[in-house]
């Protein structure tokens, strides 16, 4: 069965600093991997998606994620945090049957 683990339920960075949100997955088949962002009182918005075309995936708002099969990881990064990046971020894994979400990481950006 597939599963996702997000390391760190809360991450705090200063504005302009590197953002690194960690995600490890397990899957018995080559997975589809996703990062979603959720702003308060809103639904989830797709940031990026890995589908095996390229290991480095670029998403919206300057975010990117790198698929590392040997580490079963799909960490999300952004070189320079902006105040508007403050939100909750979810990693998800999907095979042919269903999609599983991680517990989420709340990102705080300090001025």
Partner 1 sequence: KAGVTQTPRYLIKTRGQQVTLSCSPISGHRSVSWYQQTPGQGLQFLFEYFSETQRNKGNFPGRFSGRQFSNSRSEMNVSTLELGDSALYLCASAGTQGSDTQYFGPGTRLTVL
Judged by CB under 8 A, the number of residues near partner 1 is 21
Choose the stretch contacting partner 1; rule: CB under 8 A; options: 18-26, 31-39, 55-63, 67-75. Answer: 31-39
Distance of closest approach, residue 102 Cβ to partner 1, in angstroms: 8
Instruction: Report d(CA 56, CA 64) in Å as an integer.
Output: 7
Q: Does 60 bind partner 1 (CB under 8 A)?
A: no
Q: Per rule CB under 8 A, is residue 28 in the interface with partner 1?
A: no
Task: Indicate the residue among 26 and 80 with the shorter CB distance to partner 1.
Answer: 26
User: Per CB under 8 A, does 74 bind partner 1?
Assistant: no
DSSP secondary structure string for all residues of 44-111? EEEEEEE-SS-SEEE-GGG-EEEEETTTTEEEEEESS--GGG-EEEEEEEE-SS-EEE---EEEEEE-
């Amino acid at each position: 069965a597939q599963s996702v683990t997000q390391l760190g339920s809360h991450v705090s960075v200063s504005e302009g600093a590197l953002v690194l949100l960690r995600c490890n997955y397990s899957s018995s088949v080559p997975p589809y991997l996703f990062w979603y962002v959720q702003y308060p009182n809103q639904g989830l918005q797709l940031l990026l998606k890995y589908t095996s075309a390229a290991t480095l995936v670029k998403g919206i708002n300057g975010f990117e994620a790198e698929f590392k099969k040997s580490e079963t990881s799909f960490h999300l990064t952004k070189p320079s945090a902006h105040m508007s990046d403050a939100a909750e971020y979810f990693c998800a894994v999907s095979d042919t049957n269903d999609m599983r979400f991680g517990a989420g990481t709340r990102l705080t950006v300090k001025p």
